Structure 1
Amino acid sequence: MLNPKTVLDRFLRRDAPPATPPLEPHDRVVAWATTAEAVAVASIRALWLPPKKGAEGVTGPDGTEWHRLGWSEIHKAVWRDGALVVTTGVEIEPGVVTDGPERRLRLVEPRDLPAEVRTRVTKSVAYTEHHRLSTGGGVRVVARRVPGRDGLTWHLRFDDPSDREVPAARAEAEGLLTEARVSWGDGPAA
């Protein structure tokens, strides 16, 4: 039988994860889940995962290694079949991003981490619009909020990354980006 205090702590989300990442000032844990060998933590500013095998991470106060993903770095997060699948964005040149590698994390006890990750990633997106390009293909114009930073971070995400090398496609995409920034009051007036 569960201790009534444990039940109340879980209901009020006051229980702490078994390991805590090295949080910045004014950051705090908002959700966590256990994996087979470690813990994953969502904070106000980031998703903290165990580092991949052989990869270096940052060390928490208890000596635990962590891999930090800011909410604006995550392109997609899907909860499916007991696993959280996170796809990060990789900047391939200034202002142009593409999908990075997927990170699949099987959660033994998911708690409310998947829902919190989805909420935080969604909230980081201030603007997103997909456009068909006249040269074929498409581009997504995206503006993200970065916790602790003023303003928005704007990016282009081509459906086919090689389209960015086609001068006409690139010029059209840059024009769409400028139009979006101006409409948001975040760019030079035309």
Structure 2
Amino acid sequence: MFGVFKRRKLPAGRRPSLGADERVVAWAGATGDDVVVVTNHGVWLPGAAEPLGWHEIHKATWSGRQLSVTAAREVPVGDDAYAVMEDRPPIVVTLLDPDRVPEQVRVRVNKSIAHTSHHPLEEITGVKGGVRVVGRRVPGVNGLRWTVRYDEGVDPAAPGVAEHTAELVAWAKSGVGVVG
């Protein structure tokens, strides 16, 4: 009767080196004797030296056996008010026994997003396309991390784009009650 409430235990040899306030919330066996480990801070994928933080994941999809995670990387632009992001290649892992991993990845990525809004740029800058402004929660950090992602084909260096983007980020910050 009590076995119903028993949690699966991650084998000690498969446990990644966790931070002081980091804890395992789900895990799943993957192909090749690998594991995917979900913590309150992020997801440890096979072969990774460190986890992907929830705030770093742009998109995650589940197809019934395969978990696909697309992380973002920062593009250097030199603005302190926000970071410009672009996608890394997706990482696809086949889960043999997914358990709660897909659900926890979805929930935790979504919970990291405090604000998201998309804005067309053409009317103000003459540039076709738009920009998505996102405020994300980062574990262990007060406040939000502000990022932008330009639509495909938008040149962030085009006249007026950086200035208008800074205004949009400032507007978004004021709408969620965040200063700085």
Both structures adopt the same fold (TM-score exceeding 0.5)? yes
Q: CA deviation at 1:161?
A: 6.1
Q: CA deviation at 1:167?
A: 2.0
Distance (whole Å) between structure 1 residues aligned to residue 120 and residue 29 of structure 2: 42
Q: Percent identity?
A: 39
Provide the aligned length of Structure 1 versus Structure 2: 168
CA-atom RMSD, angstroms? 1.7
Match of 1:44 in 2: 40
Matches within 5 A, 1:117-156: 117-134=105-122, 135-156=127-148
Distance (whole Å) between structure 1 residues aligned to residue 146 and residue 53 of structure 2: 15
Distance (whole Å) between structure 1 residues aligned to residue 43 and residue 153 of structure 2: 26
Distance (whole Å) between structure 2 residues aligned to residue 49 and residue 186 of structure 1: 32
Find out whether 1:71 has 2:54 as its counterpart: yes
Paired amino acid for 1:76: K
Distance (whole Å) between structure 2 residues aligned to residue 23 and residue 44 of structure 1: 10
Q: 1:39 to 1:13 in 2, by over 3 A?
A: farther
2:129–2:153 contact (8 Å) kept in structure 1: no
Find out whether 1:88 has 2:71 as its counterpart: yes
Residue-by-residue CA offset, 1:158-187 (whole Å, 9 max, x unaligned): 012642111222222221111111222223
Residue-by-residue CA offset, 1:3-44 (whole Å, 9 max, x unaligned): x76xx2xx4362211211111112111011111121100011
1:84–1:107 contact (8 Å) kept in structure 2: yes
The answer to which structure, 1 or 2, has the higher relative contact order (CA under 8 A, 6+ apart) is 2
Please, what TM-score do these two structures have when normalized by structure 1?
0.82
Distance (whole Å) between structure 2 residues aligned to residue 91 and residue 145 of structure 1: 16
Return the match for 1:159 from 151, 156, 163.
151
Residue 51 of structure 2: SS of its match in structure 1? strand
Find out whether 1:25 has 2:11 as its counterpart: no
Match of 2:98 in 1: 110
1:98–1:161 contact (8 Å) kept in structure 2: no
The range that moved more, 164-173 or 104-113, is 164-173
Please, what TM-score do these two structures have when normalized by structure 2?
0.86
Q: CA deviation at 1:87?
A: 0.2
Distance (whole Å) between structure 1 residues aligned to residue 64 and residue 38 of structure 2: 20
Distance (whole Å) between structure 1 residues aligned to residue 139 and residue 153 of structure 2: 27
Paired amino acid for 1:137: G
Q: 1:40 to 1:24 in 2, by over 3 A?
A: same
Distance (whole Å) between structure 2 residues aligned to residue 164 and residue 12 of structure 1: 52
2:129–2:154 contact (8 Å) kept in structure 1: no
Distance (whole Å) between structure 2 residues aligned to residue 47 and residue 164 of structure 1: 30
Structure 1: gaps of 5 or more residues: 52-56, 59-66
Paired amino acid for 1:122: N
